Chains A and B, each alone.
Chain A
Amino acid sequence: MDAQLLLSGIIFGLSIGSIFFLMAIGLSLCFGLMRVISLDQLLYYSIGGYLTYTVSVGTGSVWLGVLAGLVVAGITAFAVERFVFRRIYDRDVAFSMITTFGILIGGVGVIKAIWGLVPRPVAMPAGDQVDILGTFVPGYRLIVIVVAILVYVAIWLFLNRTIVGKAIRAGIEDVDHVEGLGINVYRLFTITFIIAGTLSGLAGGLHAPLIMVDPSMGLEVIALVFMVVIIGGLGSIKGTAVSALLVGQVMSLGSLIYAPLAQMAPFAIMLLILLIKPTGLYGSPLLKR
C-alpha cells in the first residue's frame, strides 16, 4: 500500500470518525445521565442534513445551512424532551427505546412529506484539495475533523470546568445523589438533551456534503453510531472519542485492504473488545436503576 493512499485513507477515516463522534456523544450522555436510549438523535441528524440542503440551496452557503440545521435540531430535541421524555424517565430503558424509535420513524415520515423521497445532493464547500506531505486530501474533510476536535475540547471544558457540567458528571455516577443535594436534575436532563440534539444536528449538517441527504439517512448510520457508543463505554466522552477514531480507521483502512471489510470490520472489532471488556473501553459498570 503506498503512502499516499494510506494518508488519504487515514484522513477519510478521521472525517467519518468525527461525524460518528459528534452523534455518539449525545447518545452516550443521554444514556449515562438519564438511562434512556435516544434513538431520536438520528432524527436530529437527518434534520441537520436536510436543513443544510435547503438553506444551502436557498442562500448558497453550506455553513449557514449547517448552522440552521443544528439550531433547528436543538429546538426539536428540546420540544421532544419536554413533551415526551419528561413522561417516560421513570420507565424501563426498553420503553425509551420503543418510544424514541416511534419518534424517529414518525419524523422520517414528516421529512418524506416535506422533502420527498428523492436523495438530494449538497454542494461541497471548501472543495479545494489540500496538500499534506505530497498527498492531496479534500479540505472539507479536514474542516470536519477540526470541528470535531473543537467540540471535544468544548464538551471537555463544559463537563470539567463548569458547575453544571460537574453536576452532569456526578449524575452519570448517581443521579439520585445529585437530586438529594437539592439540584434540579430535570433541568440537567433538559440541558443534556439539547446538547445531544444540537450535536446530532451538527453531525447531519457536516455529513450532508459528503453523502446525499435522503429520508433514511439516520437509519443508515444507526448501527455504526451505536457501535461507537458501545465500544467507547456508555457515559464516557473520552471513550466515545477513542472509539469513533477506531471505528473510522477500521472502516477506512479496512476497505483499502479488502473492500467488504469497511462494513464488516467494525463489528469484528466490537465483538473483540466486548469479549475482553464488556463495559467498553472506558465504560464503568453502569447499572440499571
Chain B
Amino acid sequence: MSPGVNLLEAQKLNVSYGEARVLFDVDFRIDDREIVACVGRNGAGKTTLLRTIAGFVKPVSGTVTADGTSLVGLPAYAIARRGVKYVPQDKKVFADLTVRENLELGSYATKDYDWDQVTGYFPKLKVLMDRKAGHLSGGERQMLMIGRAILGKPRVLLVDEPTEGLAPGIVDQLKEVFRDLSGKTALAIVEQNLPLVCAISTRIYAMKEGRIVAELPGAGATTPVECEQYV
C-alpha cells in the first residue's frame, strides 16, 4: 500500500474556531517518501488541517502523532524542530530582510548551515542573495519559502497552495523540486491545481466542508476529472 513507514498520522481531528466547527473527525496520514495531496474548495478546511498539524491551531479533540510521539499541545516551533514544517500560502517572506538573512533564520532554527540543496533546487536564489526579500517576485518568494523550510532536512513538509498565482514555468520547476524532495522529505500539499496534483501525488485526500470525503490513489491512477467530482 505505502512505499514506506508511517511518518505522521492525525486521527479523529476536530477543530473549531470559537463556535464554528471547521474540521470533523479528520483522519490523515503521511508515509515516508510520499507526496500526499489535499484538494477541496475554499473553506473545506485544508489550510486548517495543515495549521493544526503544525501546531498553530489547537484541536478540540483528536491526535496528531509523528514517529509515535504526540504533537498535540506542543508549541509550533517545537513541532517544526521535530521535522514537521509548515509553508504557508500567503507567500509572505520577511520583506525587510535580505534573501540571505531569510535563509540564515532557517539555518539558525535548525543549525543546518549547508545551503547547497537550496541553491541546487533554486539556482536563482544565488544571484538574489543580497536583495531584500520584499522585492522578489511571487515565484522567487515561493522558492525562498520552500528553500528556508527545507534547511535542517525536515521529515515532513506541509505546503499550502504552493503554485497559487505563479507562472507556468515556475510551477513546472516546483513540480520537479517536489518530486526530487519527496525522496528525503515527505510532502503534504494543499493544492487547487488538479492536473498537477494528479501528476505528482502518491495519494489524494478530497475534503469537503471539514470532512475527508475520499481518499484516492495518486501517481496517474486518478484523472483530474475524477478528482473534480469529489470537491
Interface presence of A55 (CB below 8 A): no
Cβ A166 vs Cβ B80 within 8 A? no
- The reply to whether A183 and B77 form a contact with Cβ atoms under 8 Å apart is yes
Q: Is B214 an interface residue (CB 8 A)?
A: no
A177, CB-defined interface residue at 8 Å = yes
Question: Of B78, B88, B101, which one neighbours A177 at CB under 8 angstroms?
Answer: B88
**Is B104 touching A163 in the complex (CB atoms < 8 A)?**
yes
Given contacts A174-B94, A177-B94, A182-B81, contact A167 B76 (CB under 8 A): no
Decide if A180 touches B54 in the complex (CB within 8 Å). Answer: yes
* A residues in contact with B95, CB < 8 Å: 173
0/1 string, B48-65, CB within 8 A of A gives 1 = 000000101000000000
Is A179 within 8 A of B77, CB to CB? yes
User: B105, A185: Cβ atoms under 8 Å?
Assistant: no
Interface status of B67 (Cβ within 8 A of chain A): no
Q: How many A residues touch B, CB cutoff 8 Å?
A: 18
Given contacts A170-B97, A173-B96, contact A180 B105 (CB under 8 A): no
CB distance from B82 to the nearest CB of A (A): 9
* A186 in the interface (beta carbon within 8 A): yes
Confirm or deny: B119 has a beta carbon within 8 angstroms of a beta carbon on chain A: no
The reply to whether the CB of B17 lies closer than 8 angstroms to some CB of chain A is no
- Chain B residues contacting A263 (CB-CB under 8 Å) are none
Instruction: Name the one of A177, A179, A185, A186 contacting B92, with C-beta atoms under 8 angstroms.
Output: A177
A183 CA to B75 CA, complexed, in Å: 10
Option from B75, B105, B152 in Cβ contact (under 8 Å) with A170:
B105
- Judge if A220 is at the interface, Cβ distance under 8 Å: no
A132 contacts partner chain B, Cβ-Cβ < 8 Å: no
Min CB gap A115→B, angstroms: 41
A179 touches B75 (CB 8 A): yes
Do B105 and A167 have beta carbons less than 8 Å apart?
A: yes
A178 at the interface (CB under 8 A from B): yes
Name the residue on A nearest B87 (C-beta). Answer: A180
The answer to whether A181 touches B97 (Cβ under 8 A) is no
Nearest-CB residue, chain A, relative to B109: A182
Interface residue? B35 (CB, 8 A): no
Judge whether A169 is part of the interface by a CB distance below 8 angstroms.
yes
Residues of chain B contacted by A128 (CB below 8 angstroms): none
Contact of A184 with B by CB under 8 A: yes
Q: Which residues of B sit under 8 angstroms from A174, Cβ to Cβ?
A: 92, 94
B77: which A residues are within 8 A, CB to CB?
Answer: 179-185
Residues from chain B with a CB closer than 8 A to the CB of A163 are 104-105, 108
Q: Are B56 and A173 in contact (CB under 8 A)?
A: no
Closest residue of chain A to B86, judged by CB?
A: A180
On chain A, the residues within 8 Å of B104 by CB distance are 163, 166
Which residues of chain A are within 8 angstroms of B76 by Cβ–Cβ distance?
Answer: 176, 179-180
- In the assembly, what is the distance between CA of A278 and CA of B50, in Å? 35
Measured CA separation A183–B87 after assembly (Å) = 14
Given A178-B105, A186-B75; A173-B110 close (CB under 8 Å): no
- Listed in ascending order, the chain B residues whose CB lies under 8 Å from chain A are 54, 56, 75-78, 80-81, 85-88, 92, 94-97, 101-102, 104-106, 108-110, 148-149, 152
User: Across chains A and B, which 5 residue pairs bring their CB atoms closest together, nearest first?
Assistant: A182-B80, A182-B109, A170-B94, A181-B109, A182-B81
